[in-house]
């Protein structure tokens, strides 16, 4: 007998959550611990170091500020996408999803320009621990951005046909991806001041 797994689409009444939503929150809790560990390492290395350069002397603040705005904008568009889909407007929802994906792309291009400039100045991860943490932390964050972009690309193109026969599930997926995207945004909000401004 084939039995459906309950609460894949609709909320369980006493928890108020569908499975995917609880799943993504737990995943994000784990991610908090990952980035928490990375930031603690940064703190421990920096406080223990004899000398540590100021980020604003070395890194490109205007570009990073631009990137901050790009990422915040993408957090807005992903909410608008979800809201439009909930109102039943697929065309508008899709447009906002594409805008989100585009913002992610712009962020990565700017990041690549930053990396490229540093490389051309001979500043590599092995140069010192400032650059080691800079590249490792922003690199892992960048991987998270790319991961989110892949999911958005799936939602916009091959996954979009779910809209026709599994509408609620599709909206849920946009919502959970959005939650993840906000987290990635939030990590950057912490990375930007700790690496660039301090």
Nearer residue to another protein within complex by CB, 2 or 57: 2
- Alpha-helical (H) ranges within 49-165 are 55-58, 61-86, 90-120, 129-156, 162-165
Footprint of another protein on this chain (CB under 8 A)?
A: 1-8, 12, 15, 17, 19, 22-23, 26-27, 29-31, 33-34, 36-38, 41, 44-45, 48-50, 124-129, 132-133, 135-136, 140
Identity of the residue, 44 or 198, whose beta carbon is nearer to another protein in the bound complex: 44
Closer residue to another protein (CB): 18 or 170: 18
**Cα gap 36→63, rounded to integer Å:** 25
Question: In this structure, what are the phi and psi dihedrals at residue 12, rounded to the nearest 5 degrees?
Answer: -80, 130
Contacts of 123 (CB under 8 A, 6+ apart): 58, 131
- Residue with smaller CB distance to another protein, 12 or 121: 12
Instruction: Give me the least distance between CB of 18 and another protein, in Å please.
Output: 8
Nearest approach in angstroms of CB 90 to another protein is 26
Question: Which residues, in sequence order, are CB contacts of 115 under 8 Å at separation 6+?
Answer: 135
CB of 65 to another protein, least distance (A): 27
Q: How far is the CB of 83 from another protein (least distance, A)?
A: 25
Looking from the CA of 19 toward its CB, the CA atoms found within 13 Å total 6
């Amino acid at each position: 007998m084939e039995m459906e797994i309950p609460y894949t689409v609709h909320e369980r009444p006493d928890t108020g959550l569908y499975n995917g939503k609880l799943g993504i929150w737990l995943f994000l809790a784990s991610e908090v611990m990952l980035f928490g560990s990375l930031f603690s390492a940064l703190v421990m290395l920096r406080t223990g170091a004899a000398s540590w350069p100021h980020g604003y002397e070395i890194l490109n603040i205007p570009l990073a500020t631009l990137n901050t705005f790009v990422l915040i904008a993408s957090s807005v568009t992903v909410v608008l996408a979800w809201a439009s889909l909930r109102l039943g407007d697929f065309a508008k929802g899709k447009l906002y999803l594409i805008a989100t994906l585009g913002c992610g792309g712009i962020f990565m291009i700017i990041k690549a320009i930053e990396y490229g400039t540093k490389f051309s100045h001979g500043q590599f991860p092995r140069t010192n621990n400032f650059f080691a943490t800079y590249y490792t932390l922003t690199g892992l964050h960048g991987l998270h951005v790319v991961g989110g972009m892949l999911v958005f690309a799936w939602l916009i193109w091959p996954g979009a046909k779910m809209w026709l026969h599994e509408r609620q599930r599709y909206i849920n997926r946009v919502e959970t991806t959005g939650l993840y995207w906000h987290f990635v945004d939030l990590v950057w909000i912490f990375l930007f001041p700790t690496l660039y401004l301090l």
